[in-house]
Structure 1
Amino acid sequence: MRSVGYARTGEIETLELFSAVEPQEPGEGEVRIRIHRSGVNPTDWKSRRGALHIPIPQGGYQVPHHDGAGVVDKLGKGVKSLVKGQRVWVWQAAYRRLGGTSQDYVVISASRVEPLPDGVSFDTGACLGIPFMTAHRALTVSEGGPAQLSRGALVGYKVLVAGGAGAVGNAAIQLARWAGATVVATVSGPEKEKLARAAGADHVINYKTQDVAAEVRTIASDGVDIIVEVSAVVNAGLDAKVIKPNGVIAIYANDGGNDLHIPVRETMTSNARYQFILIYTVTEAAKVQAAKAIGHALQDGAVAVGDERGVPVHHYRLNQTRQAHAALEKGGIVGRVVIDLTQD
């Protein structure tokens, strides 16, 4: 069995390819998955550099990547929800665990494995976990709103997605549209506008050339119910101008800076709420609800990755994991980075 991992946190050179490793046996409540695709997220290179990391034991190594997709290879005792040979997707494989998805086989709790419907690509399956679950959380924290998305659950809602061409932004657009919301997305240029529209955004605003607040108020005169926010520091003033009374500003990243200054009076007047989101520390119940909702959206054909959904997919082989991390760490890449473990 092949795996990529690192024995110590640090720069990209710490990633090594191991090829003489025996696959683990699944324990009670666990399954072994033959990984076909391993999804790479920014959090993976940040963890490699030391963020949110557990100690690596002497002689051991951390296998990175939380997201993946493949086929059930072996069932542990007591697992009834899955069958051998079933196509599945995996979420949060490497959080406080040494065994992520950048390996041929991963052993993981069956509770973090979801069916991948026939006809849905392994690429899509490997790109669901972190971005789509983060987006689901952002769309389900509004006062009086649904705790779990379903088809039509957000009918009548207006959602503003900041950075509609990003991974979470794209996921939020797809899920919000499936749930029936009117979606407004902001982007930085024409190419990213195409991506946001491919994802399903009803309205796209170029924040570099247009007055975003005025445009949003033209679309939603009383404001938007939910803002899915990637850059709260930069957009705090804008968000206060366009949030609807009792709306929620859901912050999932700190693009543009870390020190947030909130316009207090404006935000008080609208009774708006700020909700910060880090998917790893969200309650287990909320994560399970997100995974189940994403599964329903997959069955409906409502979510996917690829150019046709505004998510270009960039493929690397397992022995190119360093290059995959470098592409994300350098920044500027549009779309998703995926390791194809079937190519080597």
Structure 2
Amino acid sequence: MKAITYTSNGGPDVLTLTERPVPEPGPGEVRARVHVSGVNPTDWKSRRNTAPASAQVPNQDGSGVIDAVGSGVPETRIGERVWIWEAAYGRADGTAQEYVALPAGQAVALPDHASFDLGASLGIPALTAHRALTVADGGPERLAPGALDGCTVLVAGGAGAVGNAAIQLARWAGATVVSTVSGPAKGDLARAAGAHHVVDYRAQDAAAEIRRIAPDGVDIVVEVAPAANAALDRAVAAPDAVIAFYADDDASATVPVRPSMALNLRWQGVLVYTVPPAAKAHAVAAVTAAVADDALHAGPDAGLPFHRFPLAETARAHQAVEDSVIGKVLIDVAAPTG
């Protein structure tokens, strides 16, 4: 089978198209024929910064069809359409290959109405968004319709993949969603995702506008840039609010200590890979339920444009994500997708 591997860390040029044996699923595992592989920022950061112990296949997320199962897994799963999450975390086999064997719980049923493109767009972004939306004191452990009724959620960077998922999941759960963006084009994407209100922080007084929309403050902030937005988040936070940040850089944020104490604010870090197992299980179940409810979408009509590459051009796909392209980068591994 064809696979992309790298044996040393570095730029996209370390990625090589190779031939490898088709893997056999071990006990408790399934094997999926990969249709689409999704690329996330952590995929290129791992490739660039961490030298693998052996040949590494990149990419955590994907979608496909189960074609074999290991012992302990029902044979009825053969032929099941699935979305795949964290395939390469702590393992040498990500989704940038024609077949992947992985623990059965990391290949989750994908309804017939959901495309393989959507399946490959879930994983890291949607699980991160779910965690950010469920860390408030007294909040739900698992999102569901009505779980966030009466809550106002601020999504910073609503045009990004995590922001897009957070907007959709928060709306599905009943929240009023406000999103900040850096310009009109990104505003259109946030609205397409379903944000009730969009604030262009370059053209408006963001704090004043958010306070106009939510006079009592926002209950949950899904924050991509805490170093830049700490003061804004404090200014618009309701008492007992949580600022859940998943920053994708190494910048240091200055937390306003006394105002945070006065409002009993929680500043909560979110790294999807190290989320507690029970919280991860809740996230997988909720994302699956949202997909089944037709409440999660991807593509330009949902505010998440696709950028497609063939498997042989995985290096270009990684470069696109490293260059911060707006939208979701997908790799077509098997054709056709559906």
Q: Of the candidates 296, 302, 321, which is equivalent to residue 328 of structure 1? A: 321
**1:268 corresponding residue in structure 2:** 261
**CA deviation after TM superposition for structure 1 residue 342, in Å:** 2.0
**CA deviation after TM superposition for structure 1 residue 297, in Å:** 0.3
Measure, in 1, the Cα distance between the counterparts of 2:159 and 2:12: 26
Measure, in 1, the Cα distance between the counterparts of 2:114 and 2:248: 32
1:153 aligns with 2:152: no
**1:4 corresponding residue in structure 2:** 4
Q: Of the candidates 40, 52, 56, which is equivalent to residue 53 of structure 2? A: 56
Measure, in 2, the Cα distance between the counterparts of 1:80 and 1:264: 53
Measure, in 2, the Cα distance between the counterparts of 1:115 and 1:104: 19
Query: Are the aligned partners of 2:35 and 2:335 in contact in 1 as well (CA < 8 Å)?
Result: no
Measure, in 2, the Cα distance between the counterparts of 1:116 and 1:254: 28
Counterpart residue type for residue 197 of structure 1: R
Q: Of the candidates 94, 101, 108, which is equivalent to residue 114 of structure 1? A: 108
Q: Of the candidates 316, 321, 341, which is equivalent to residue 333 of structure 2? A: 341
**2:72 corresponding residue in structure 1:** 78
Query: Are the aligned partners of 1:232 and 1:254 in contact in 2 as well (CA < 8 Å)?
Result: no
- 1:194-273 aligned at under 5 Å gives the runs 194-255=188-249, 258-273=251-266
**CA deviation after TM superposition for structure 1 residue 287, in Å:** 1.1
Q: Of the candidates 298, 308, 311, which is equivalent to residue 304 of structure 2? A: 311
**CA deviation after TM superposition for structure 1 residue 29, in Å:** 0.4
- 1:44-193 aligned at under 5 Å gives the runs 44-51=43-50, 55-57=52-54, 61-80=55-74, 83-193=77-187
Query: Are the aligned partners of 1:317 and 1:343 in contact in 2 as well (CA < 8 Å)?
Result: no
Q: Give the count of matched residue pairs.
A: 336
Counterpart residue type for residue 233 of structure 2: D
Structure 2, unaligned runs of 5 or more: none
**CA deviation after TM superposition for structure 1 residue 320, in Å:** 0.5
Structure 1, unaligned runs of 5 or more: none
Counterpart residue type for residue 194 of structure 1: D
Residue 26 of structure 2 aligns to a residue whose secondary structure is coil
Measure, in 2, the Cα distance between the counterparts of 1:189 and 1:266: 29
**CA deviation after TM superposition for structure 1 residue 340, in Å:** 0.4
**CA deviation after TM superposition for structure 1 residue 127, in Å:** 0.7
1:17 aligns with 2:17: yes
Could you list the per-position Cα deviations for residues 86-111 of structure 1 after superposition, in whole angstroms to 9, with x for gaps in the alignment?
10001000011000000000000001
Residue 43 of structure 1 aligns to a residue whose secondary structure is helix
Residue 49 of structure 1 aligns to a residue whose secondary structure is helix
Query: Are the aligned partners of 1:249 and 1:273 in contact in 2 as well (CA < 8 Å)?
Result: yes
Structure 1 segments, 4+ long, off by >6 Å, are: none
**2:292 corresponding residue in structure 1:** 299
Report sequence identity in percent. 55
Query: Are the aligned partners of 2:61 and 2:87 in contact in 1 as well (CA < 8 Å)?
Result: yes
Inter-CA distance 326–245: structure 2 relative to 1 (3 Å threshold): same
Q: TM-score w.r.t. structure 1 length?
A: 0.95
**CA deviation after TM superposition for structure 1 residue 286, in Å:** 1.1
